[in-house]
C-alpha cells in the first residue's frame, strides 16, 4: 500500500534527452467494514414471519485507495456450534438494500452476508447478526415480539 513515484529518462544517439514521470498508487487493503443489518429501515430486525421477504440493508461501504466495484449477497441458516448452511448462493447486488423471497423454516435462525470487493480484487465479508423465523399468524409484530416456543 502506498504511493510510488517513477521517473524514466531516455537519450538518443545524438544526445537528445526526454524524461517522463509517473505516480502509482498501490492498494493493498480491502474495503472499509461498513454496517449491514436485517430489515428495511433503521432498526435491525430480530424476528421475521415465515413467508415474508428477507430484507438486508447496508451503509458505509467505501475504500480509501480504490473504488468498490462489486457487492455480493448470500443467505445462510445459522446453527449453534455448527457450520452455517447456505440457503441462497452468492449473487451480485447493487444499491444499499436487497430484498428476496427465500425458503425459511419456523424456529430456525438465518443471517445475511455481504461480500464487498474493490477494483483490485480485495474484499471483506460482512455479516448481519441474524433473525429468527416465527409463525405468520398475526399474534406478534415483526421485529418486536418473539413468541415463546416450548
Mean pLDDT of all residues in 29-54:
90
The pLDDT tens digits for 116-137 are 999 989 999 999 999 999 987 6
Side-chain half-sphere exposure of 66, counting CA atoms within 13 A? 20
CB 95 within 8 A of CB 105: no
Q: Name which of 24-38, 44-58, 87-101, 134-148 the model is least confident about.
A: 134-148
Where does the pLDDT of residue 65 fall: very low under 50, low under 70, confident under 90, or very high at 90 and above?
Answer: confident
CB 87 within 8 A of CB 76: yes
Confidence (pTM):
0.75
The pLDDT tens digits for 67-81 are 899 999 999 999 999
Q: Name which of 24-33, 54-63, 79-88, 106-115 the model is least confident about.
A: 24-33
Find, among 138, 113, 115, 146, the residue nearest to 127 by Cα: 113
Cα 78 to Cα 111: distance, rounded to the nearest angstrom:
7
Residue 104 has pLDDT above 90, yes or no: yes
Residue 141 has pLDDT above 80, yes or no: no
Amino acid at each position: 500500500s502506498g504511493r510510488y513515484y517513477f521517473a524514466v529518462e531516455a537519450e538518443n544517439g545524438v544526445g537528445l534527452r526526454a524524461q517522463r514521470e509517473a505516480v502509482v498508487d498501490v492498494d493493498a487493503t480491502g474495503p472499509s467494514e461498513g454496517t449491514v443489518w436485517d430489515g428495511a429501515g433503521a432498526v435491525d430486525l430480530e424476528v421475521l414471519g415465515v413467508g415474508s421477504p428477507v430484507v438486508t440493508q447496508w451503509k458505509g461501504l467505501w475504500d480509501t485507495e480504490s473504488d468498490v466495484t462489486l457487492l455480493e449477497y448470500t443467505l445462510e441458516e445459522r446453527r449453534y456450534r455448527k457450520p452455517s448452511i447456505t440457503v441462497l448462493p452468492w449473487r451480485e447486488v447493487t444499491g444499499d438494500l436487497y430484498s428476496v423471497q427465500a425458503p425459511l423454516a419456523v424456529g430456525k435462525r438465518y443471517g445475511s452476508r455481504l461480500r464487498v470487493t474493490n477494483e483490485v480484487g480485495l474484499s471483506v465479508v460482512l455479516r448481519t447478526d441474524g433473525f429468527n423465523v416465527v409463525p405468520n399468524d398475526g399474534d406478534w409484530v415483526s421485529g418486536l415480539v418473539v413468541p415463546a416456543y416450548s
